[in-house]
Amino acid sequence: MIGLLAAFQFLSILPPVIKRLFTPEEMGHAVGYFPLVGLVLGGILAAARLLLDLVLPTAVSAVIVVTLWVVLTRALHLDGLMDTCDGVFGGYTVERRLDIMRDSRVGAFGVVGGVLALLAKAAAVASLGGQTVAPIMAAVLGRWAMSLAVVAFPYARADGLGRAMKDHAGWKQLLMAGVIAGLVAWFGGCWVGMIFAGGAIVVCLALGRFFVKRIGGLTGDTYGAICEVIEVCVLVGYTALNG
């Protein structure tokens, strides 16, 4: 249960129930619950979309939903995407790229990456109308990909919060996350949902290999970047199905 609470407190704006720092072991256990956090977040977003559509135009409703998406996650993954874009595209050596990613300032690559991700999400949500499955699937599969990335790829730094998760998360946590994501994918979209889940794995592994080549491994920022990219891919994929 502490691992479950750690997952919600780390990945969402949920007020702290346990008011202390989680141990590395607890953060490792939390990795198995990442898709469950996505299920709750996706459910909130889907409900908000339905309610907002009753009183607002589609485009305005979509922008508010995407804003809520950022707020509910404390912009954690979006910040990771922006830092990752700055680092992997802005440095000439591994060491310099990692230094850039740790810099609190945001560069041109980060701004462009963050803006494009938000625009893509808003446009996709707007085009999907009252579709509620898409945001749920996006939120779940994005966090399932994070669990996969944590376990499957080496960590690029010797320290950091991501290091604690990496060192104490294993195939047991990955299996738990996979079961949760698989059940949501099946009941949310049957074979279509499973295809999206498989696509999320492919994209995650491709991004992970790219990050390993660029910075020698993954970091907490790249975990967030993977989540954001998967969310965008899932939303865009659903717009293609509905188009």
Q: 81 and 114 in contact (C-beta within 8 Å)?
A: yes
DSSP bridge partners of 218 = 155
Q: Of 43-52, 152-161, 220-229, which gets the smallest average pLDDT?
A: 152-161
pLDDT digits (tens, 9 = 90+) for 74-91: 999 999 999 999 999 988
Q: How does residue 162 score in pLDDT terms, banded at 50, 70 and 90?
A: confident
Q: How does residue 158 score in pLDDT terms, banded at 50, 70 and 90?
A: confident
Q: 65 and 131 in contact (C-beta within 8 Å)?
A: no
Closest CA to 236 of 98, 119, 97: 119
What is the end-to-end Cα distance of the chain in Å, rounded? 42
Closest CA to 241 of 143, 130, 127: 127
Q: What is the mean pLDDT of residues 141-166?
A: 91
Give the per-residue pLDDT at 13: 92
Residue type, 199: G
DSSP bridge partners of 155 = 218
Q: 132 and 50 in contact (C-beta within 8 Å)?
A: yes
Q: What are phi and psi of 20, to 5 degrees?
A: -160, 165
Question: Residue 13, SS3?
Answer: coil
Q: How many domains does the chain have?
A: 1
Is the pLDDT at 166 greater than 80? The verdict is: yes
Rounded CA gap, 79 and 62, in Å?
A: 21
pLDDT digits (tens, 9 = 90+) for 90-145: 888 999 999 999 988 899 999 999 999 999 999 999 999 878 899 999 999 999 99
Q: For CA atoms 126, 127, 131, 134, give the dihedral sign.
A: negative
pLDDT digits (tens, 9 = 90+) for 29-43: 999 999 999 999 999
**Which residue reads 């949920």 in tokens?**
14
Rounded CA gap, 38 and 192, in Å?
A: 19
Q: What is the mean pLDDT of residues 139-154?
A: 97
Is the pLDDT at 243 greater than 70? The verdict is: no
Q: What is the mean pLDDT of residues 209-228?
A: 96
Domain that holds residue 117: 2-242
Question: Residue 17, SS3?
Answer: coil
Q: 18 and 9 in contact (C-beta within 8 Å)?
A: yes
Q: Please, what is the average pLDDT of the chain?
A: 93
Rounded CA gap, 196 and 81, in Å?
A: 21
Is the pLDDT at 189 greater than 70? The verdict is: yes
**pTM of the full structure:** 0.95
Closest CA to 160 of 230, 122, 215: 215
